[in-house]
Structure 1
Amino acid sequence: MRNYRQLRLAVDLSLVALALLSRGRRSWSDGPASPPTPPPDGEARAGAGPDSPARHSWKGLDMHDTLTATPRPYAADSPVAHLLDMAEGIGQPTEDEQCEDAVTAAAHYVYNAYPDTLGTVLDAMDWTGHPALHSAGFAFEPAATAWLDGGLWLHHTLRISEADGAVDVLTLIVPCTCGHGYTDIVLDSEDMLIEILAELRPTHGKSVHDDSHDDCRTVRPVAPLGRPLAAI
């Protein structure tokens, strides 16, 4: 969804630029504007030698003027002014938009990647979106969760990196037989999900406790069957 928003922003910006170019800051019928008259050689900018970048100009505009930091080095009605104002007006998605996008991404991924299992029992209405969380020491992208009943959950998010871009991450959250918490299982295919479900069937959807791994003890107690975790 983020890629879609970026594409939509790029299209909007392109349309604005084309409109501004067609309108122009002056009429094309006026003919080309006369270029600024460069100063005589004897009136070169003080302190600028013959090979200094300050002496080189583009269409009569000194590089020194272009590189000098100013509050707004462009006209208020110029194309770049309108483009920057549009980008500022769009801003970041709201929390509601993040939740909506997270639900859409989760439903789309499950429908396509798990068509014979999860895709047959879940639809978009079964997912609940959650906005991004940012705090000192951690940051989480927007996510969506689906309550499967019996204490089982699905959690979907996008892991974003420069190397891989946006990667779908689907996690099955299973209650432990010890009654002290949950075990999370990151799924990578429908075949893996089927194997896990076969292992969970004898325990009615619970993960068999292993004393050598106490991960399940680090989270909240298992919710009673049929009662969502958020209600505890």
Structure 2
Amino acid sequence: MDVFADTWAWLIDGANWSGAGGAGQRLGEHLFLTVVCLAVSCAIALPVALWLGHIGRGGALAVNLSNAGRAVPTFAVLVLLGLTPLGRYGMWPTVLALVLFAVPPLLTNAYVGMREADRDAVEAARGMGMSAGQLLWRTELPLAYPLIMTGVRSAAVQIVATATLAALPGGGGLGRIITAGFRTYDTPQVVAGAVLVAALALAVEGLLVLAGRAADPMRGRRRASRRTAPASVPLKAAL
């Protein structure tokens, strides 16, 4: 119980949040790293997944190759990239390692979402004379949107959790709080750093859930379908 009390005391101590190297600065670094890595990952994975899902060819190979990359330890990638000339450019080795880690869930979910789009709706849109681009943006993408956003949320949470490793080769973020606690044998600081990472992950996922609902291109249709769905018939009435 003393550890939890000491952790709470660490978290509410303003001295731990202010100044250079404080929790406030580390939280900002961690959030910035998450946003940059997620944006770069989406820019790489989503166009590829959407196009492969649209044409229906090569997607399985791309998904398997991206998933195979998840077997490579992220820390090993960080160290290797730090030893290359790229290591001279600050946070970019960390960004590249986290992007490689975040691409698989984005690519997999977006591709599966495109391939599992209602084929009757797709064929009906094609029969109406839609071009390939119109079919992709007006029909397939809205139908695949829920799975795409699931992949985005999964990638974002993984980036938040894995970005703590950036502190090991000397990067920033909340991982610096944890590593500093290990160096000084300060258990409450280590636990406080872990709590902050978990809280940030939950906050990022919650924000993405809200943003996903607000940006859902079929939000109105799904809401209307729920209102007009027939009520289930009680078992006794059915008998």
TM-score of Structure 1 vs Structure 2, range by shorter chain = under 0.3
Q: Which has the larger radius of gyration?
A: 1
Higher relative contact order (CA 8 A, sep 6+): 2
Name the TM-score, length of structure 1 as normaliser.
0.24
More helix by share: 2
More strand by share: 1
Name the TM-score, length of structure 2 as normaliser.
0.24
